[in-house]
Structures are given as C-alpha cells and as structure tokens.
Amino acid sequence: MTIFSATDNLRTDKKYVTTWNFGGLSETSTLFCSMNLIHLGLLSDRIPILFPVIGLEWQVGTGAESLSAGSFFDLPRLSEAIELPVVDWQDVKRVRVNRPWNPTDWTSHDDDELLGCWSIVQTFDESKKPLKRDEGPPFLHIDAQYTAVPPTVKLASSGDGWHTSFESLSHLLSAAGRSEAFSLDPSLPTYGERPLPPTTPHPKPDDQLACFDCLYWVWSEFVGEWERTHSPTWDAVGTHMHFSKEADDIATYYLQKAFGLQVDHEVPPFITIHARHADFKNLCKNPDDLKSCYTPLSEYVRHVRELTAELVQIHGPDSPSAQVKEVVMLSDEADPEWWAEIENMGWRQTRPYYEEIVRDYGRRWPGMVDSIILSRGAAFIGTSQSTMSIIAARRVKDWNKGPVRLVSSRLLFSYYPRPGLTNALVAYRLSGTESKITITYTWRRNRIIYAVVLS
C-alpha cells in the first residue's frame, strides 16, 4: 500500500515541476538549481516545488540537518514578486526536514512511490545513466524511474557537457513536446536505480508532476550566463530570492557579535570580502607556494580604498552608505597566521563563532550565515570564478546598489570549450567596469585548461 502519493497536497487542476538538487553542498548550489527550476516553471506555466538543502554526513559532518527551502529563502515574498506560487517539498510530503542526518533517509524504503522522471544526464553523459547522488528522491520516499530527454534539448553551440536550454525544456513539458518525445524512433531509453518487476511497466515521465534529475546547467543563451551582466534567470528569479526572516536574524546576531555590539545595537555599514582559498588550492600552478596563487591582502586593501571612494560618488557624501569604515572578511582559509593578519588590520570576521553556530543551529548554518553577511555589504570584493562570490556580487549590486569587484591571482581553471574565448585578453563585466584577464591555455582531454591572471 502506498503511504505517500506524488499528488498529495497538489491541486489536480495545476501542473508542477521539480528537480532533485545537484550537490546540495552549499546555499549557492541550491540557489542555482532552485533559480533554474523556478525559471523553467515561469516559462512552462508550472508551479515549482523546491527541494530541501541537504545535510549529508559526508558533506558537512555528523548530525548535519536537511533544511527545507523555506527555512532559508523567503518563499512568500518570492512568489509575490514573480507572480507564481513557489512550493516547498515539506508542504507536499511528510519529509524529515530540519532534523539531523539519518542514513535511512538516503536508502530505498518499502513505501517508495514509483514516479516517472526525465533525465538530462542520461542523454549527455558517457555513462548513459541519470545523475546518481545520495540526496535524491529516496529522501522523499520516491522511487524515480528515468526516461532520457531528447537530444534536441541541448543548448546550441555549448560543446560537451550537460548544457540544455530553457526554451527546449519548456517545449518538452508541453503537450506537443511530450507527444514528439514519446513518438521518437528508436524510443527514448529508460533507467531506474531499482529494477522493476517484469509485470510492472516502466512509467513515462509524469505530466502533472514533471521531474528532472538535474537542472544545474540550464541556460537561456550562453553557458555561464549568470557570470554576465545580463542573466535572464537571475533577472527573472534570482534577484527576488531573499532570505527568510529566521535566517536574516541569525546572521544579524553574529554580525553584532563580530562588531562587539549588543543585540539592540545597529551594525554600521561595511564592505564585505569573500576570499575563497580551500578548494582553489587544487588549481594552483605551484602547490608548494600557495600564497603565490592567492590574492595578496595588499590588493584587497587597494580595492577597499577604491570602493570607499565609489560609494561616495554613488550615494553622495552625506549618505550612511558613504560613511563606510568597516570591513568584514569571510574565507575558508584555515591558516591562523593569515587570520592574524586580518585581525591586525582591524577587519571583522565570524570565524571564531563557527562552532557556536554549529552547536545552536546545525552544520548547514555557518555557510548560510556567511552568504547572508556577504549580501549585506555596502560594497563587495570577491574571488573570480567562485560561484559564492558571483552570487554575493549580484546581491550587493541589486539589493544595496553597491559597487563590486571580483579579483583573483594565478590559478588554473578548467572549462569545456566555449565560443568566444579565442583571444588572450577578455573583459569581465560583472562589476560594470572592464578588468583585463590574461589567459594562456592548453588542451587536455577535450578541455581547455586556462591559466588566469586578473588585474
């Protein structure tokens, strides 16, 4: 007997779309999946259902919570802004959100419901299997059986990889698109993690509740368009994805602690910096001298000085936003000597409160608190190619009307070939100003390996 139903708490006169979040490693990866899902919902006239932010043990440690999307994003405000209901999975099924990690959440259950879904990865990956990640449908007591999407959903000129277009996926979810897909000869292949009994037919992708294995790499026109000044998905959805009051209040409390303030005192304006180091060390050309690959603190000081002057020009000398004297540095750097330099410069940090945040709120929250604090800056300095920095920069620009910079040093970045990257000099325009990036590149197994120096 089925305990859950895929249409529990779903109106039968409406159509829905969902995806199993890729990664779940951070608020940023969850944001990308959610943004793309919601944008696809807008284009296909379907109500999106947001997957939780998963707290797997191997990702963030023992006892990590799985948080509902609504515990972090302000979904009512988002729904009103985009004029489309946005649903949280906890409002559809009785899932174990906001509770510590439990291994039984990620394994098959006797009551798992059979549901037909679409697989993007199955079509474009060499394995010809859907994206297999532990945080998938078993969490929702769903046994997802996948049908490969038609190859026509591929984003034109995107090269290798799993890149698809919103337009083609939206057409696939229409009556005409479904009919075309199911009439292909040979028929689209199917796959399930658990083999079905011989007498059980493989379910076609559900029409009322359309589901995908991965919507991380969906674009309107260009691969990586959220890095550009104009990003249709960010403009239509991302800029409206504000944080919940609960999450905002937690971040405010730790900002006050970082500034040595009482809970009833207002935090003064500040510039935020995100220096991504930890995993980027694997991209360093000289692993024996990591400091040579990271942006020196003197460069951050220079950018702080320049942004302080820009704030005066943007807001006027009498504006509180122009009176910035404080800097908040957030980083995944573990070197105590590096942090000692930050402290000697008088810049604020939340690193001393990491264990307290984990103890009081859970292992998911330190990264989430950092994301919120970064978005509060009157201006922002981030790390080039870091998705967390790119999203923080967009938030500061849109929400605070603040100037931003993305800086980097000598790192290696690996990309699939993309049109337009043929010159040694390109312009990075997110900040509204052009920064020269010197690129040298070599081919390695169908990928271009870039050595990047951004001034």
142: β partners? 113
What is this structure's pTM? Answer: 0.85
Encode pLDDT of 242-257 as tens digits.
999 999 999 999 999 9
Encode pLDDT of 420-443 as tens digits.
333 333 333 333 333 444 433 333
Residue range 310-319: average pLDDT? Answer: 92
**Going by C-beta distance under 8 Å and a sequence separation of 6 or more, which residues neighbour residue 267?**
252, 255, 256, 259, 261, 376
**Going by C-beta distance under 8 Å and a sequence separation of 6 or more, which residues neighbour residue 128?**
122, 148, 189, 191
Radius of gyration of the chain (CA): 23
Q: Identify the pLDDT of residue 295.
A: 83
Q: Where are the beta strands (DSSP E) in 339-434?
A: 379-383, 404-407, 411-415, 425-428
CA distance 182 to 176: 10
Alpha-carbon 441 to chain mean position: 27
Do 193 and 137 meet the contact criterion of CB atoms below 8 Å apart? no
Spatial CA neighbour of 45 closest among 76, 13, 74, 73? 13
Q: Identify the pLDDT of residue 22.
A: 54
**Going by C-beta distance under 8 Å and a sequence separation of 6 or more, which residues neighbour residue 92?**
8, 9, 10, 49
Encode pLDDT of 274-303 as tens digits.
998 776 666 666 666 666 677 889 999 999
Question: Following DSSP, what letter does each residue of 21-75 receive, concatenated?
Answer: PS--SSHHHHHHHHHHHHHHHHHHT-EEEEPPB---HHHH-TTPEEBPGGGTB-H
CA distance 172 to 166: 10
At residue 157, φ and ψ (nearest 5 deg) are 60, 30
Question: If one looks up domain 244-454 in CATH, what number appears?
Answer: 3.40.50.11350
Q: For the chain, what are the domain ranges?
A: 16-239, 244-454
